[in-house]
Amino acid sequence: MIDDDEDVLLAAKLLLKKHAHQVIIEKNPKKIPFLLNNDTYDVILLDMNFSKDITSGKEGFYWLEQILEKDRDAVVILITAFGDVEMAVNALKAGATDFVLKPWQNEKLLATINTAIKLKKSYREVDKLKKAKEQLEADLNKPFRDIIGNSKPMMKVFNLIDKVADTDANVLILGENGTGKELVARAIHLKSQRSQNVFVSVDMGAITETLFESELFGHKKGSFTDAHEDRSGRFVIANQGTIFLDEIGNLSTPLQSKLLTVLQERHVTPIGSNVSLDIDIRLVSATNMPIHDMVNEGTFRQDLLYRINTVEIRIPPLRDRIDDIPLLTNHFLMKYGKKYRKPVKSVSESAMKKLQLYTWPGNIRELQHAIERAVIMSDKDEINAEDFFFLSQTVEFGSNGDQANLNLDEVEKNTILKALNMYDGNISKAARELGLTRASLYRRLEKHGL
């Protein structure tokens, strides 16, 4: 409440402190910008006249304009001892929520304030829904929202998703780049009790140290140089929904501490505000880094790891789920055939065999790119092995990052092992896949000591 009459301020505070969490009173209207920069208010009671012998209300209209310029959703009730119907109408036109005459009736003042508080809550809800709608629209536009696969390793992943989705347990998803960690996070959200609310994805590796708090916790207008308007943080936008923190292993130690505090206390304080906002979120995190080793090395906080991985899901690399390559290939084939208006309808048997023998260091993302490129370059109904010529020119690397062994005997041994793994040790199917007779395959197994 801003009024130049100290008696009025004290009387109002005595009345209102019984009904409000906090009541701030101020005699000098010139402190309004400072007050708005340092806090947020459900309701602002503003006197219309601060100079002696002035009853026009122009000062009140001036400060009302200043308040609404700083916060377009501010709820302002104008108060004056010199009001009339015309002034009340002008006040409402200028953006005031209501108009109160002095001396007021306590019950009427309280009723007016309660109505104003409800209006403020509705403004906040509309703002939250607007932000959530924007996030949902962005999410719906993201491609390949469904996980594709029916291999044994992926069936284990699906089983874990089913078990954990309906709970509110924090989930940590581990896997190499391009394996589909975000797809798993979205699947958990869509199967959860929060599925009707927003899913917010945050790439922690793309957020700088200086913008971390602003992005995740929000900020008030004017709290720093580029803060031109109030901004809700990702945690507030995700309230009652799911927040996905991708590449969480990239966080520095100081940022890990800030994140841990929020996860423990379940509230955030926007930059430039003294008011904490409660959050109710489901946390799903992901990383491609050896996070358990990082804890042992002291580069990732153990208490934060305990907080984020109530349940851990490991996504297998594509080289360990080669049974899914035909499914994924056909999916991407249909997508890019339609996108580029190409007649491509299928992949030849030799081409599919080539795709299944390749190690895919970039996982599904690399396969997606390979199919897209092949579709663009092909003018036939069927894509052949030679359409993937660029794969044979790619230097393959082992899981430890070293260049793959190019010794012919080792290549043959590894190819046989892949075929056996593909068919769970079935000799007949593996021999057929390799283009060998059962007897020839047995001889090679004996040769390589397999």
The 10s digit of each residue's pLDDT in 186-226 is: 999 999 999 989 999 999 988 888 889 899 998 888 778 77
- Tell me the torsion sign for CA atoms 55, 56, 59, 61: positive
- 142-316 maps to which CATH number? 3.40.50.300
Averaged pLDDT score across all residues of the chain: 85
In this predicted structure, the answer to whether residue 408 has a pLDDT above a threshold of 90 is no
Q: What is the pLDDT of residue 142?
A: 47
pLDDT range class, residue 52, cuts 50, 70, 90: low
- As its CATH architecture, domain 6-119 has 3-Layer(aba) Sandwich (3.40)
In this predicted structure, the answer to whether residue 396 has a pLDDT above a threshold of 50 is no
* Secondary structure in 3-state letters for the chain: CECCCHHHHHHHHHHHCCCCCCCCCECCHHHHHHHHHHCCCCCEEEECCCCCCCCCCHHHHHHHHHHHHHCCCCCEEEEECCCCHHHHHHHHHCCCCEEEECCCCHHHHHHHHHHHHHHHHHHHHHHHHHHHHHHHHHHHCCCCCCCCCCCHHHHHHHHHHHHHHCCCCCEEEECCCCCCHHHHHHHHHHCCCCCCCCEEEEEHHHCCCCCHHHHHHEECCCCCCCCCCCEECHHHHCCCCEEEEECHHHCCHHHHHHHHHHHHHCEECCECCCCCEECCCEEEEEECCCHHHHHHHCCCCHHHHHHHCCEEEECCCHHHCHHHHHHHHHHHHHHHHHHCCCCCCEECHHHHHHHHHCCCCCHHHHHHHHHHHHHHHCCCCEECHHHHHHHHCCCCECCCCCECCCCHHHHHHHHHHHHHHHCCCCHHHHHHHHCCCHHHHHHHHHHCCC
Q: Which residue has the higher pLDDT, 94 or 203?
A: 203
Tens digit of each residue's pLDDT (9 = 90 or more) over 173-192: 999 989 999 999 999 999 99
Give the gyration radius of the chain's Cα atoms. 32
Give domain limits for the chain: 6-119, 142-316, 319-447
Q: What is the pLDDT of residue 143?
A: 39
The span from the CA of 133 to the CA of 122, in Å, is 16
Q: What is the pLDDT of residue 229?
A: 81
292-301, 360-369, 372-381, 382-391: least confidently modelled range: 382-391
Q: Which residue has the higher pLDDT, 13 or 70?
A: 13
Phi, psi of 387, deg, nearest 5: -70, -15
pLDDT range class, residue 85, cuts 50, 70, 90: low
Q: What is the pLDDT of residue 146?
A: 67
Q: Which residue has the higher pLDDT, 91 or 275?
A: 275
In this predicted structure, the answer to whether residue 127 has a pLDDT above a threshold of 50 is yes
Q: What is the pLDDT of residue 232?
A: 86
pLDDT range class, residue 54, cuts 50, 70, 90: low
Q: Which residue has the higher pLDDT, 157 or 21?
A: 157
Q: Which residues of 160-182 are buried (b: 16+ CB within 10 A; e: fewer)?
A: bbeebbeeeebbbbbbbebbbbb
**For the chain, what percent of residues have pLDDT higher than 90?**
39
Q: Which residue has the higher pLDDT, 160 or 445?
A: 160
Give me the mean pLDDT over the 152-160 stretch: 93
| Mean pLDDT comparison of 115-129, 250-264, 336-350, highest-scoring range | 250-264
Which conformational region is residue 307 in: left (phi greater than 0), alpha (psi within -120 to 50 degrees), or beta? alpha
Q: What is the pLDDT of residue 139?
A: 56
Give me the mean pLDDT over the 363-368 stretch: 92
The span from the CA of 79 to the CA of 60, in Å, is 9
The domains spanning 142-316 and 319-447 adopt the same CATH topology? no
State the fold for domain 319-447: Helicase, Ruva Protein; domain 3 (1.10.8)
Contact by Cβ (8 Å): 365, 178: yes
